[in-house]
Chains A and B, each alone.
Chain A
Amino acid sequence: MTIVHPASAILLSLQVATVATLGSLPVAVGLGYTLARRDFLGKVWIEAIVLLPLVLPPVVTGLLLLRMFGRRSAVGAWFARMGMPLSFSTAAVVLAAAVVGFPLLVRATRTAFESVDVRYEHLSRSLGLSAWPTFLRVTLPLAAPGIIAGTVLAFTRALGEFGATVVLAGNVEGQTRTIALAVYALLETPKQQPAMTPLLVASIGLSFAAVVLHEALLRRLRARLELHRG
């Protein structure tokens, strides 16, 4: 009777987390760089708003997203007309995952850019490279390890998203039922379900691998910083 397919849930989770993280990466890099290098009026507000999804209860984030991007909002209505509704669809799962992972991504990129010595940029400019090539060939490569570490962390957060997803996207097999939602659906079934085991193994395995990768990247980053100072 229940139709929970562990394989499809695991695949969906991976797809969603990948699209959500890579999709928001350019925005996070731009924002992280701006926050690291520029001071402007209202900066603290931008910082607070970006961090909000990290601390808000995910169900509240989901409800806010539903109000902002649901079919009755201007944005949501437009996307729905374009054939890509942002609520109760796979796109909604991606949206929820992207929003909850975003703060981690911005924080990591910001810290990464802050750790890049501005003198390298000045040197590059004085040697004749203009702003954009300097960013691409000097700043970004130096910040890359930190950005990648943050990306891995945001990916893991996206992988585990539940609260916002269940409100914004519903729990539909094959469309919005990620690992977390599949586990929840199985908890509601009367008997112990064999489908639970692969879901738990995948969930723990993926999260563990991502955290190990994250730590390894950070260790390399630290080692390189020591080298620079030494």
Chain B
Amino acid sequence: MSRRIVLAAVLALIGCQSKPPPSVSLVVYGAASLTESLTEVSEAWSAQGRPAVTLSFGSSSQLARQIRAGAPADVFASADVEWMQTLEGAGALRPNTRHDLLGNKLVVVVPKTATFVPRALAELEDPSVRKIALAGEQVPAGRYADAVIEQVGRTTALAPKVTRGESVRTVLHWVADGELDAGFVYATDARTEDKVSVAFEIPAELQPDIVYPFAVLAGSQQPVEAEGFIAFCSSPTGRAIFERAGFSMLPP
């Protein structure tokens, strides 16, 4: 009996191996803040009979490091220009495939249950705001938030309250859980989570230039499909999805 099971298992394994390779899917690395929208775009893309998309989300810094270490990705969608430029400098991008597609805004969120809601950067110094979450110093969302705080000269004042998450989504999670009193996230992140509310938007004059560049990677085995995917992101279907999520489409 047990020998028969083993035999069946072995045969099953052999069967798996001898199956023809499945049609190669496109591997897309996306900034954590793109999680929902890029998933939706990929589904729309595959629904049109194009190759399936395998998505991997994380902080842009993490993903860029993986790409530089040779991760087999076809497309990278970064949440800032700097990381894309680092990869470009390292020769990891396919030339002339980079498009700055999306724009975003930085906001401060608080838990829905918060009793004190700060309405400006200065009010973050209020003692009832005990802990503020920012993404890591090298994660785009953290970098943008640091720049804003520095511009208003409150880096030292807020430093004792700051805690840092691995990606902007960790920040969002902590605030949604009510563990922390406030967090710097993108406007689009705030929309994905019912348990947070936007306390205030970073004022226009301080608002960093948040740009999401997309590019095909030099190591891609299917650069044409990869470029097709990026084009699809800015097609009417793609635009509708990103705009619904709260992104702004940048002029080509």
**Do A and B belong to a common assembly?**
yes
Which residues from chain A sit less than 8 Å from chain B, CB to CB? 1-3, 66, 70-72, 80, 85, 87-88, 166, 169-172, 175-176, 185, 187-190
B209 to chain A minimum Cβ distance, whole angstroms, is 17
Is the beta-carbon distance between A71 and B164 smaller than 8 angstroms? no
Task: Specify the chain A residue showing the minimal Cβ separation from B83.
Answer: A190
Is the beta-carbon distance between A185 and B137 smaller than 8 angstroms? yes
Task: Specify the chain A residue showing the minimal Cβ separation from B146.
Answer: A1
Contacts of B166 on A, CB cut-off 8 Å?
A: 166, 171
Is the beta-carbon distance between B136 and A70 smaller than 8 angstroms? no
Q: Is B138 an interface residue (CB 8 A)?
A: yes
- We find that the number of chain B residues with CB closer than 8 angstroms to chain A is 25
> Contacts A71-B179, A170-B133 hold; do A88 and B86 have CB atoms under 8 A apart?
no
Of the candidates A1, A70, A85, A176, the one whose C-beta lies within 8 Å of that of B177 is A70
Task: Give 12 A-B contacts (CB < 8 Å), ordered by A residue.
Answer: A1-B137, A3-B137, A66-B179, A85-B131, A88-B163, A169-B163, A171-B164, A175-B163, A185-B137, A188-B139, A190-B82, A190-B86
Task: Specify the chain B residue showing the minimal Cβ separation from A181.
Answer: B164
A62 to chain B minimum Cβ distance, whole angstroms, is 11
Could you list 14 further interchain pairs (A-B, Cβ under 8 angstroms) beyond the known A170-B165, A188-B139?
A66-B177, A70-B179, A87-B179, A166-B166, A169-B163, A170-B163, A171-B165, A171-B166, A172-B163, A187-B65, A188-B61, A188-B62, A190-B64, A190-B138
Cα A87 to Cα B59 with chains together (Å): 23
Contacts of A185 on B, CB cut-off 8 Å?
A: 136-138
Q: Interface on chain A toward B: helix, strand, loop, or mixed SS?
A: loop
- Which of B83, B133, B137, B174 has the most chain A CB atoms inside 10 A of its CB? B137
Contacts of B164 on A, CB cut-off 8 Å?
A: 170-172
Cα A70 to Cα B139 with chains together (Å): 25
Q: Is B219 an interface residue (CB 8 A)?
A: no
Q: Is B180 an interface residue (CB 8 A)?
A: yes
Cα A74 to Cα B139 with chains together (Å): 33
B161 to chain A minimum Cβ distance, whole angstroms, is 10
Q: Is B240 an interface residue (CB 8 A)?
A: no
B217 to chain A minimum Cβ distance, whole angstroms, is 17
Is the beta-carbon distance between A88 and B138 smaller than 8 angstroms? no
Of the candidates A1, A88, A171, the one whose C-beta lies within 8 Å of that of B180 is A88
Of the candidates A71, A172, A188, the one whose C-beta lies within 8 Å of that of B178 is A71
Q: Is B53 an interface residue (CB 8 A)?
A: no
Contacts of B165 on A, CB cut-off 8 Å?
A: 170-171
> Contacts A2-B138, A166-B166, A172-B162 hold; do A188 and B59 have CB atoms under 8 A apart?
yes
Cα A16 to Cα B249 with chains together (Å): 47
Is the beta-carbon distance between B136 and A188 smaller than 8 angstroms? yes
Task: Specify the chain A residue showing the minimal Cβ separation from B180.
Answer: A88
Cα A219 to Cα B130 with chains together (Å): 50
> Contacts A1-B137, A185-B137 hold; do A72 and B178 have CB atoms under 8 A apart?
yes
B87 to chain A minimum Cβ distance, whole angstroms, is 9
- Which of B61, B86, B136, B139 has the most chain A CB atoms inside 10 A of its CB? B136
Contacts of B62 on A, CB cut-off 8 Å?
A: 188
Query: Which are the 4 A-B pairs with shortest beta-carbon distances?
Result: A170-B163, A188-B61, A188-B138, A88-B163
Contacts of A66 on B, CB cut-off 8 Å?
A: 177, 179
Cα A136 to Cα B202 with chains together (Å): 63
A91 to chain B minimum Cβ distance, whole angstroms, is 13
Cα A71 to Cα B65 with chains together (Å): 34
Task: Specify the chain A residue showing the minimal Cβ separation from B133.
Answer: A170
Task: Specify the chain A residue showing the minimal Cβ separation from B160.
Answer: A175
Contacts of A85 on B, CB cut-off 8 Å?
A: 130-131
Cα A169 to Cα B162 with chains together (Å): 11
Contacts of A72 on B, CB cut-off 8 Å?
A: 177-179
Within 8 A of A (CB), among B35-77: 59, 61-62, 64-65
Cα A48 to Cα B234 with chains together (Å): 53
B116 to chain A minimum Cβ distance, whole angstroms, is 14
Cα A88 to Cα B131 with chains together (Å): 8
A27 to chain B minimum Cβ distance, whole angstroms, is 26
Within 8 A of A (CB), among B190-246: none
B80 to chain A minimum Cβ distance, whole angstroms, is 11
Cα A87 to Cα B62 with chains together (Å): 24
Contacts of B86 on A, CB cut-off 8 Å?
A: 190
